[in-house]
Amino acid sequence: MNRILVPTDFSPIADNALNYAIGIAAAFGSELYLYHVFTFDRFNYDLELPDEKQPYPKKLERRMKMTLRKFLQKIRQAKLTVHTKVEEASIYSLFGSKVNELGIDLIIMGSKGASGLEKIIFGTVASTALGRAIGPVLVVPPQHTFRPLKEIVLAIDDKEVSLEVLSPLHKLALNFGAQVTILNAKSGAGKKGYREVDHHLKGVRTTFLEIPMANSVNEAIADFVEKAGCDLLCMVRRNKGFVESFFRKSITRTQVYHNQVPLLVLPEKSRN
């Protein structure tokens, strides 16, 4: 976890995600990249001024400095390096081109915010935003305070998961000394699925649990997470639909976020 990207819209929930990111970064000695992207519209663009003199970006720069100032003491105590950037760009670039450009290992973001971030998780572009993420995304629910990871739940289905896909989870579990419960809420994976995943998580304490599926996989996982009191829920974003359906349920019923559990989404690598 050398480099962590934190999108911000300067809202309290985005600040909370930054606070969580500082906790993760401190454990790894990671560099933080705090980004705000914006687009001009008729409300924030002054037609009488050239681009380099537009007041709106300058206003955002001031807000970025204010945000950094709020966390400066904690950042210094953790001896972290933080890079800030205000840039005119699509918010989707933070999940695609910026990951490659900056060499990002993990994106940490709030589950909703005052503007752009609110649309990502709870709006119509939710599945599109996370569907475009080419790297792991850790979504922090509102008001969830960072604490060292001790209990992690990895929800699996009946498909294979590669070592490369699980690498971010492996690093987090090893660094924090966390136990990982490999949870199957859909018959099919069984012990074979557990053995494959366990092999990829060498050095990590793991347990396997298969739970009955009630009305849906989503509800079964959410119920278990709530009762288990875990610190992190991890899911693999399949190329076809597993996590997408999970998010649709979360939007309509607020299942995961009702339990205030951070969610780590690992994208499945496409195969040639």
- Residue 25 falls inside a structural domain: yes
Token pair of 75, please? Answer: 């950042």
- DSSP category for residue 89: S
16 and 90 share a domain?
yes
How many distinct structural domains can be found in the chain?
A: 2
118 and 57 share a domain?
yes
Write out pLDDT tens, residues 129-161. 566 788 999 988 887 889 999 999 998 877 788
192 and 249 share a domain?
yes
More confident residue, 221 or 247: 221
Mapped onto helix, strand or coil, the DSSP state of residue 155 is strand
158 and 227 share a domain?
yes
Total count of residues recorded for the chain: 272
184 and 105 share a domain?
no
- Residue 90 falls inside a structural domain: yes
Mean pLDDT to the nearest integer, 210-229: 76
109 and 171 share a domain?
no
pTM: 0.85
14 and 119 share a domain?
yes
Task: Find the CATH number of the domain harbouring 205.
Answer: 3.40.50.620
14 and 135 share a domain?
yes
| Cβ proximity of 64 and 38 under 8 Å | no
Residue that has been written with the tokens 């290992």 in this structure: 105
136 and 225 share a domain?
no
What lies within 8 Å, CB to CB, of 59 at 6+ separation is none
- Predicted pLDDT at 259: 47
173 and 199 share a domain?
yes
- Predicted pLDDT at 191: 62
Share of the chain above pLDDT 90, in %: 39
- DSSP category for residue 182: E
- Residue 272 falls inside a structural domain: no
More confident residue, 134 or 82: 82
24 and 130 share a domain?
yes
Mean pLDDT to the nearest integer, 239-266: 55
Edge-first strand listing for the sheet containing 179-184: 82-88, 31-38, 3-7, 106-110, 137-140, 263-267, 232-237, 151-156, 179-184, 206-210
Residue that has been written with the tokens 């995600």 in this structure: 17
Token pair of 174, please? Answer: 């090893």
- Predicted pLDDT at 65: 96
Q: How far is 95 from 104, CA to CA, in rounded Å? A: 10
What is the extent of the structural domain holding 171?
151-267
- Residue 89 falls inside a structural domain: yes
* End-of-domain residue from the set 104, 119, 140: 140
Write out pLDDT tens, residues 86-111. 998 888 888 888 999 999 999 998 87
- Residue 131 falls inside a structural domain: yes
Token pair of 179, please? Answer: 């136990």
121 and 211 share a domain?
no
- Residue 98 falls inside a structural domain: yes
